[in-house]
Structure 1
Amino acid sequence: MDDKEFEKNLLPVSVDEMTIPELSRHALNLVPYVSRSETLQNLVKLGVNLDMVQRVEGVAELLLQSQFDRDIAPLIHLLHLAGVPAESMGLMITRNPLLLTQSVEDLSSRIGYLLHKNFSQTEVASIVTRAPVTLLMDPVKMDSKLAFLQTTFDLTGQEVRQVILKYPKLIPWRRDMIANVRFHLQEFLVLSKPQLKEMLLKEPKIFFSRQQQTFSIAHGLEPASSRCPMTVPLLITKSLSSSSTLSRSSPTLHFVS
C-alpha cells in the first residue's frame, strides 16, 4: 500500500486520528519560485520533493510565506535532536509536509510522549521516520490508539512496543479498519484470540490491510483448524503482497506501559 492510499484511510481530524488533507486539485506550482526563495532552496538541499509537497492543500502558500531560519530550521533541529537521520529528513517532509505547520512545542510533546512510554530515543526516531503522520497526533490520541491495541489484543506494554516498532503505521491507522480485519480473520478463519494476538505480534502489517482485501483473502483460505496456525500469518502476508464495520464508541482507555 503506497502513502497516498495510506493517507486516504486515516481518520479525519474531527473524528479520531489526525490526517493529511486530501491533495488539492489546484495546487500552486512552486518551481518558478525556487530561484527567489531561500526557504525552497534549503528544502531542495534537504531532499524535499517540491512536486509532491505542493500537492497538499495550503502547503505551497505556507512555504512561500515562511522564513527558513525562523519557521522551519527549529523544527528540523528538533527532529535531528530526536534522532531522525539527516538523510531521512527530506523524505520525511515530502511524505508529511504538514510537519512544517506544527509548532516546536507540539512536536516536542508528541516525541516526549513516546519516550515517556518507554520507547528509546532510537526507537522513537525509527517510528516517526517510518510513519511521520504520527507526529500530527496529539499525545491523548496516541495514548488512546495504543490502549486500543493493548486491550483489543490483550497485549502487555512490551508487546505493544514490539508491534509498533515492527509496523509504526498502525498508530495513525483507523481503529475501525483494524477491528474489521480482526473480525474477518476471527470469523472466517476461525482464529482464537490467542492466535490473533500471535498473528499481530508476528505480522502486524496484516491488520493494516483494507477490509475488502482481507475479506477476499480470508474466504480464500481454509480455517485455521485445518492447517498449522502458525502458517496463517505467512499465507495472508503473501496474499496481501500479491494482491493489487465494526466501529463503535468505547470507554476512555489508557496505554499501560
Structure 2
Amino acid sequence: MLSRKVFCLIRNLHISSVKSLRGSLRPVSSPTESEDVQEKLPTKVENTLPSENPLKSYVPTFNLAAYVNKSECLQEFIKMGVNLHNIERRKGLGEFVLNLNFNDTVKPRLLFLADLGVSPELFGRFITKNPLIFKESIADLTIRVNYLESKKFTPQQIITIVERNPFWLMFSTKRIDNRLGFFQKNFELNGDDVRFLTTKQPNLITYKIEHVQKALFTVKEEMGFNVEEMKCLLLAKPKLFMMDHSLLVERFSYAHDEMKLSHEMILNFPHILTSRQFRVEQRHKFLKFLEKAQYDPKKDLYVSPKALVEGTDLDFVLNVAKSDLVTFDAFLRTL
C-alpha cells in the first residue's frame, strides 16, 4: 500500500501545478512528439538526468538495494511497493533508476498520473513494470491523453487503460492511431467496439503487431472462423490473439475434433480456448468414461463446455459428473 508520505506529497503539490496540467489537456491536432519507443524495453538506457545528481558517480551493480540508504528516490520507491529486483534484472534500467531525481523527475509524473485518476496505490506496480515513464516529457504524456479524449474515450476508460497497461503512454498518438485502425479494419469494428476492446485488453493494442497478424491468420485460415466470428472472439476473449499460435491451434483442434464442439459452440464458450489444456482433457475424458460427454444443448443430459473450465475438481465431480473424488482420482491414475 502507498506510504502516507507519498500520499501527502502528491496532495500537497502546489495547486497551480495541477491547474496548469488540467489546462493543458486540450484537444490537439497533428501533434509533434518525440521518437516512438520500441515495443520491447531498450537493451540500453541512456542517462538524460541532471549531471549534478550526486548518485551519478556510483558504479551501478545488479543490486539496487545496496544504494537505498543513499537514494531518496529508491527509498520512496520501496515505500510505494516498487520491486527493485524486477527492475535491476532488465539491462540498463538499474542505472537509469539509480540516477533519477525524485523531486525533479519522478514527482511531476506521479502528479500527472494522480491527476489523470490513476490510483496512487497502483504506483508501485506501475513503476515496477515501466520505470521508463520517467523518461517521457509531461507534454508528450498530455498529448497522448488528449488523443484518447478526442476519440471519445471516457475519463474512466482512460484511467482503466493506463492502469492496466503501464506501457500505453510510451506509444505516440500516431502509433496508437495506427494500431486502433488495424483492429477496426481487420475485425470490422465500429467506434464503440474499438473503445470496448481497448478498455478490456489495452495490452493487446500495444502487443507485437506481427504476432497479432499471425494470430488473425491462424483463427481465420487454420481454425476456419469468418470475420464476424473473429470479431465475436476478439471482443469476448481478446487474450486469444496474444496466445502462442501453436497452442491456440492445439486447443481448438481438441475442442473441435475430439470433443466435437462446433464453431458456434466455441463462440458461445471461448473460455475453452484460453483454459489449461490438461484440465479440459482430464474432465472431458472422465465424462466420456462415464458416458456423459454430451455437449449438444438440443439433446438430453447436456453438459455445458463451460463446466469443464470452471470450478474446483470437487465442484466438477459432484455437480457435473455426478460422481465422487475417489472415482475421479482413480481414473486420473489410468491416464
Q: TM-score, normalised by structure 2?
A: 0.62
Question: What secondary structure does 1:20 align onto?
Answer: coil
User: Corresponding residue for 2:89?
Assistant: 55
How big is each residue's C-alpha offset from its partner over 1:40-73, in whole Å with a ceiling of 9 and x where there is no partner?
Answer: 1111111111111122222221222221000110
User: Corresponding residue for 1:132?
Assistant: 166
Structure 1 117/199 Cα, relative in aligned 2: closer, same or farther at 3 Å?
same
C-alpha separation in 2, matches of 1:51 and 1:234: 42
User: Corresponding residue for 2:131?
Assistant: 97
Q: Aligned-pair distance for 1:175?
A: 1.9
Structure 1 233/17 Cα, relative in aligned 2: closer, same or farther at 3 Å?
farther
Q: Aligned-pair distance for 1:230?
A: 4.3
C-alpha separation in 1, matches of 2:208 and 2:62: 30
Report if aligned partners of 1:184, 1:218 keep a CA contact under 8 Å in 2.
Answer: no
Q: Aligned-pair distance for 1:17?
A: 5.6
Q: Aligned-pair distance for 1:200?
A: 1.0
C-alpha separation in 2, matches of 1:104 and 1:175: 27
Q: Does 1:64 align with 2:98?
A: yes
Q: TM-score, normalised by structure 1?
A: 0.80
C-alpha separation in 2, matches of 1:235 and 1:27: 49
Structure 1 185/51 Cα, relative in aligned 2: closer, same or farther at 3 Å?
same
Give the letter aligned to residue 19 of structure 1.
K
C-alpha separation in 1, matches of 2:115 and 2:87: 24
Long gaps (5+) in structure 2: 1-34, 46-59, 279-335
Identity of aligned residues (%): 29
Aligned residues: 228
C-alpha separation in 2, matches of 1:123 and 1:109: 16
Question: What secondary structure does 1:108 align onto?
Answer: helix
Question: What secondary structure does 1:144 align onto?
Answer: helix
Answer 1 or 2: higher relative contact order, Cα 8 Å, separation at least 6.
1
Q: Which structure has the larger Rg over C-alpha atoms?
A: 2
2:41 to 5, 9, 20: 20
Structure 1 217/21 Cα, relative in aligned 2: closer, same or farther at 3 Å?
farther
Structure 1 88/16 Cα, relative in aligned 2: closer, same or farther at 3 Å?
closer
Q: Aligned-pair distance for 1:189?
A: 2.8
How big is each residue's C-alpha offset from its partner over 1:63-102, in whole Å with a ceiling of 9 and x where there is no partner?
Answer: 2222100011001110111111010111011011211222
Of stretches 41-50 and 233-242 in structure 1, the one that deviates more from structure 2 is 233-242
